[in-house]
A and B are shown apart, each in its own frame.
Chain A
Amino acid sequence: MVIDTEGLSFNFGKQAVVKSLSLKVPEGSIYGFLGPNGAGKTTTIKLLMNLLKTDEGNIHIFGQGLKSNRVKILSQIGSLIEQPAIYLHLSGKENLLNRALLLEIPAKRVDEMLDLVHLTGAANKKAGQYSLGMKQRLGIALALLPDPKLLILDEPTNGLDPNGIIEVRELLLRLVKQQQKTVFISSHLLAEVERMASHVGIINNGELLFQGSINELQALNQPQVQIEAENTVDAANLLKRNDFTVTEVDDDHIFVPFTSKQKMGEINSLLNKNGYTVYSINKQQKDLEKLFLAITQSA
C-alpha cells in the first residue's frame, strides 16, 4: 500500500471532522477520494501531508510512519491542495523556478513542466493575471515538478474547462501507465473520477462509507428495468398488484429492479394485456452518480 491509515481521526475543536478513517491506496492506482463538499476530504489530505496534527491513528506512506519519516516521505510526494498556492507577483515560470530552487531541481525541468501544462506561452506573464484554469494548470505543474512517486491532488480540475479536464485526466492516466506513479485525487464529482480511477473511497461527514476497486463499486450497482409507458402511475400499481417491486415512478417512466430477461418479458406482456401501451422497455445500469448520492445520503 502506498497510503495506509489506521483509525485516523481529527477534530476541529469539539467537531469531529475525520472519524476513524482507514484508507488503503494501492501502488500504481488512481484512487478517487469522493465526497460532497465539507465531507472531510481536504482535512484528510492535510493530515496526509502532515499539515495538521493527527489526533488519533496512524499514517503510513510508502510503508513508513509519517511522523518519524516526514522529510523523506514528503520528498516523494507532489501535491495540490485546495486552490493552487501561487505567488501572484511572480510569473508562472518564476513560481516554478522558486520551487525548483527549494527542491534542488535543474531549471531545465521547469521548461518541461511549462510545456506539459501548456503554459510556455504565458511563462513570463505574472501569475496574478492568469485565469483560474491557468492557475490550476500551474498548480499541477508545481505538483509534478519533483517527479514524485505519489501525487496528491485536491480537486485539481476546479476551474478547468471541459478540454482542460480531459487533458488532466489523460495526463494522470499516462503518468500511472507509463511511469507507475500512484495518484490520490479528491473530488465531489463522481463523473469526473469514474473515467480514470481504479479505486474509490467515498467519504461523508468524516466517515469512509465505501472503499474498493471501481469494479467493486459497480457491483454494488444493481441494474434496473426502465419502462416507458402511458399512464405510468396506474401501470405501476398494476405491477405492484402482480408482485413486482417498483422503485421509482415519474410522468414517463417506471423503474423495476432487473432480475432476468424472462421477467422483463413478463412485465411487457402484463402491461400490454391490461391495455397499457409500452413505448420502450430496457435494462439499465443506474449511473454511478446516483449510486454515489445514494451512498452519501443514506449515511
Chain B
Amino acid sequence: MKGFILSFRSEFYKTRKTMGFWSSILLPLLICLLLFIGFFNHSDKLAHTPALMLWIEFSGLILAIMGSFILPMLIIFIAYSVNNIEHKADTWKSLFSLPISKFSVYSAKYLYAVFLTFLCLMLFALFTIGFGNLLSIIKPSLRFNEYRIEGLLAQVYLKLFLCSLGVLSIQFLLSLLFRDFLKPMGIGFVCAITGDILSGNWKYSYFFPYSHPMLAISTIENGVKNSHGKGPMPQITVDIFTREIFVSLAVALVIFVGGYFIVLKKSVK
C-alpha cells in the first residue's frame, strides 16, 4: 500500500507541470467560462426563463458537447499523457527497477488517470454550479438561484465518470503498450466516432465502451424529459446504474487486471 501511495504522489509530482494535468482543469474552466460569457451577453432573451430551464440549457449545452466528443477525446488524451511521460523520458526501466512492487507502480499510474478524469468531471460540475450562480448574482434577471441543481449535476457527472472507465482502461492499456502517439490516438479517435454513430443506431451499442458517454447523456436527457413540467421545483432523477454502466465497469475491471499481466510479461525496453 505504501508503494502505491508513493507512486501515486510521484505521478502527481511528475505531471503537475504538464498539459495532461492542466487540461483536466483548464478544459472545464474554459468551456464553462465560454458559456458563462454567452449567457451573460444574451441575458435579455433568457430573462424570463424558469430557473430549471435555465440550468438545463446551461448544463445541457456543456453535457451535449462533452458526451458527443470531448469526453471520449479527453479520456484518450489523459490516458495517453500519463503514459507518454514515461515513453518520452525512457523511464519505464527506472520505474520498474524501483524497490516497489510492479502492481503498485501499475495501479498507481492507472488510478492517477482515473483521478484526472474524475477531477475533470468534478470541475465541470463545480464550474457549472459556480458560473450559474455567479450569473444570477451579476444579472439578477437570470434566476439560476431559484433552483438547486447540485444534487442532479452530481448524479449526472457521477454517471458520466462511471461510463468513462471502460474507455479509459482500454486507452490506458493502448497508451502503455504503444510508444508512438498515432496508435492509441488513432484507434481511440476512430472508436469514439464509431461509438457516436452506434449509440443511436444499434440496440447492442451498450456493449461498445466508446458508445457509453453518448448513451449516458441520452439516458440523462430522457430523465429530464420525463420529469419536465411537474410544478416549480420538479424532482429529476437520474438512473445511474443502467446497463452501459455495468458494461463499462466490467470492461474496466477486466482490462485493468489483464493489463497488469501483460505488464508483468512484457519486456521493459
Contact = CB atoms under 8 A, between A and B. Distances in A.
A264 interface: no
A51 B268 contact: yes
A71 B99 contact: yes
Interface string B167-197: 0000000000000000000000000000000
Interface of A: 46, 49-53, 70-72, 74-75, 77, 79, 81-83, 85-90, 94, 97-99, 101-104, 142
B17 A98 contact: no
Given A90-B14, A101-B10, 4 more contacts: A83-B90, A85-B91, A87-B14, A102-B100
A74 B93 contact: no
B6 interface: yes
B88 interface: yes
A82 B101 CA distance: 23
B237 interface: no
A103 B17 contact: no
Interface in B88-112: 88-91, 93-94, 96-101
Nearest to B267: A52
Contacts of A49: 93, 97
B265 interface: yes
Interface residues of B, number: 24
Contacts of A77: 97
B202 interface: no
A103 B94 CA distance: 12
B9 A101 contact: yes
Name which of B10, B14, B94 has the most chain A CB atoms within 10 A of its CB.
B94
Given A51-B267, A51-B268, A98-B13, A87 B89 contact: yes
B18 interface: yes
A87 B85 contact: yes
A97 B10 CA distance: 9
Contacts of B91: 85-87
Given A97-B13, A98-B13, A51 B99 contact: no
B85 A74 contact: no
Contacts of B18: 89
16 contacts: A46-B268, A49-B97, A50-B96, A50-B97, A70-B101, A71-B100, A74-B98, A75-B99, A77-B97, A79-B97, A85-B89, A85-B90, A88-B88, A89-B18, A90-B14, A99-B94
Interface centre among A75, A85, A104 (most CB of B within 10 A): A85
Nearest to A48: B97
B268 A52 contact: yes
Contacts of A101: 6, 9-10, 13
A46 B93 contact: yes
Contacts of A81: 93-94, 97
B94 A142 contact: yes
Contacts of B268: 46, 51-52
B98 A103 contact: yes
B7 interface: yes
A102 B93 CA distance: 15
A83 B269 CA distance: 12
- 7 A-B pairs with the lowest CB-CB distances in the bound complex, closest first: A75-B99, A85-B94, A51-B268, A85-B91, A74-B99, A49-B97, A87-B89
